[in-house]
Amino acid sequence: MIDLSHQHCEKAPCIRIGDADRNALFQSGLEYNTPARGGWNIVHTGMLVPEAHQIYVCAQGCLRGVILTAAEMYAMERLSWITLTEEDMFDGTLESDIVDGVTDLLHKMPKHPPVVLLFISCMHMFAGADFESILAELHDRFPDIHFTDCYMAPTMRKTFTPTVRMAERLYESLKPLPLNPKAAVIIGNDRPTDPDSELLRIFRKNGFKVHDITLCKTYAEYLKIAESTYAVTYLPTAYKAGENLTEQFGMKHLHLPASFDYEKIAANYRLLCNTIGVPIPDFSPDIAGAEASLEHAKLLIGDMPVAIDHLAVSQPFSLAKLLIEHGFRVQHIIADTVTEDADAFDWLKAHHPDIRIYQDTNVNMLYADSPENVFAIGQKAAYYFHTDLFVDLVANGGFYGYSGISALAANMADAYLHEKPHMDIIKLKGFGCPSCLTE
């Protein structure tokens, strides 16, 4: 376990799962920020819209992070900004400053982008800025550009998280197309879904075209997403985006949570096949593949304690249950909340009550130390447990279903055999994005 014994804690950073209430794992308090940077932010996600230009309107402190995100990924030419001052809040120019600023920026560009993702901030929302009138005026001035209203509003994160909101805004500039009964879209991910996954094989085998914004190279290609009859999501942060596509274009939204439970995976595929009207394949070879991979990883990793974090996978408790059922010694889970894998949490609580859950942002995690060697799944787990034996994975990494389990287990085996310097890797922003820090 992480050694925190040297200090008494007013707000404990870890708890036995046996003592945890899944509806409120930890108290809120001041927050600490780990140096694990693989999670995508709204800039990374916005870059998924091909040819889009992002404009942020906010205070200097807020701008700094988004601008340097773009700089580090060599994308400064795709992001501009307008800074807000205290006076802007009170001098009656809140809306006109945005309109005039965006106009000025667009006039300076050598070529108009097809779409502008225009981000306002908490300050605008709190001041009641009329975003609709801003967008209407910009539309009048620039009829060749589509303006998407976007939000950098972390103060409102309890109402809608930035990740959820951004996943949804990505598809706002789509225009209705006739629905193609043989087209689907996978939405809400940072990375393409593994082409070997059963999910994509089912679509391919039955003649479906599958769109994915992470694979779109041009804006025209992006616009074709709107022909999809089916919208598939599997991360919880994508659910709202899927519902919006149903509302906006009449797509059938299928939320197939990225579970590590064989039965749930089977249920997902049954729902998919029944909805799109295709036969349910025989998954036994895929299950056998997953089992073989897990067995191989277990042979290597043996009884080494395993830590899993919630940045790596959307269902860390489900993954913990799967690994424990296959003989791994999962002892640590870094997660602030319980989401779609509440039943796995309950199972762990009943059967393995000594597993420790850690609050990722707890201030006392600053002094986390790990006296034992731990195998980690995820960047935060690697950081907190100071281990170079780790799977570098963020937001499921495109792995899904039985093949996803197989691939993850293969990654575990590889990570065990090949140590890598975790601090050099986890400092890179936006898992999978280009980075000037690797030069």
Instruction: Map residues 419-438 to x or -, x wherever contact with another protein holds by CB under 8 A.
Output: ----x---x-x------xx-
| Integer angstrom CA distances of residue 253 from 86, 230, 250, 325 | 43, 6, 9, 32
Nearer to another protein, 266 or 363 (CB): 363
Any alpha helices (H) in 144-280, and if so which ranges?
A: 162-169, 198-205, 219-223, 239-249, 262-276
Stretch that binds another protein, among 155-163, 201-209, 244-252, 282-290 (CB under 8 A): 155-163
- C-alpha angle 421/388/297, rounded to 5°? 130
Give residue 384's identity as a one-letter amino acid code: Y
Of 1, 38, 52, 121, the one binding another protein (CB under 8 A) is 121
Give residue 296's identity as a one-letter amino acid code: H
Stretch that binds another protein, among 29-37, 178-186, 254-262, 306-314 (CB under 8 A): 29-37
Which H helix or E strand runs over 45?
helix 42-46
Distance in Å from the first CA to the final CA of the chain: 36
Of 19, 21, 91, 104, the one binding another protein (CB under 8 A) is 104
Nearer to another protein, 163 or 318 (CB): 163
**C-alpha–C-alpha distance, residues 314 and 338, integer Å:** 10
Of 24, 85, 271, 372, the one binding another protein (CB under 8 A) is 85
Half-sphere exposure of 394 (CA within 13 A, CB side): 20
CB of 274 to another protein, least distance (A): 41
Of 145, 156, 273, 304, the one binding another protein (CB under 8 A) is 156
Of 75, 89, 145, 304, the one binding another protein (CB under 8 A) is 89
CB of 392 to another protein, least distance (A): 17
Nearer to another protein, 72 or 137 (CB): 72
**C-alpha–C-alpha distance, residues 105 and 108, integer Å:** 5
Of 20, 25, 52, 63, the one binding another protein (CB under 8 A) is 63
| Integer angstrom CA distances of residue 411 from 239, 264, 316, 389, 397 | 27, 22, 16, 11, 11
Of 45, 54, 80, 228, the one binding another protein (CB under 8 A) is 80
Which H helix or E strand runs over 384?
helix 379-384
**C-alpha–C-alpha distance, residues 100 and 118, integer Å:** 13
Nearer to another protein, 37 or 329 (CB): 37
Contact status: 67 vs another protein (CB under 8 A)? yes
Per DSSP bridges, beta strands 209-212 and 146-152 are unpaired
The angle that helices 262-276 and 401-417 make with each other, rounded to 10 degrees, is 140
Of 24, 76, 288, 350, the one binding another protein (CB under 8 A) is 76
Binders of another protein among residues 173 to 232 (CB under 8 A) are none
Nearer to another protein, 84 or 251 (CB): 84
Contact 207, 278 (CB under 8 A): no
Please give the distance of CA 210 from its chain centroid, rounded to a whole number: 20
Contact status: 274 vs another protein (CB under 8 A)? no
CB of 10 to another protein, least distance (A): 4
The residues near 44 (Cβ < 8 Å, ≥ 6 apart) are 69, 73, 190, 429, 430, 433
Contact status: 108 vs another protein (CB under 8 A)? yes
- Assign residue 250 a region (left: φ > 0; alpha: ψ between -120 and 50; beta: otherwise): left
Of 363, 370, 386, 388, the one binding another protein (CB under 8 A) is 363
Of 2, 25, 47, 123, the one binding another protein (CB under 8 A) is 123
Residues in touch with another protein (CB under 8 A): 7-11, 28-33, 35, 37, 58-65, 67-68, 71-72, 76-77, 80-86, 89, 97, 100-101, 104-105, 108-109, 121-123, 126-127, 152, 154-159, 361, 363-364, 366-367, 423, 427, 429, 436-437
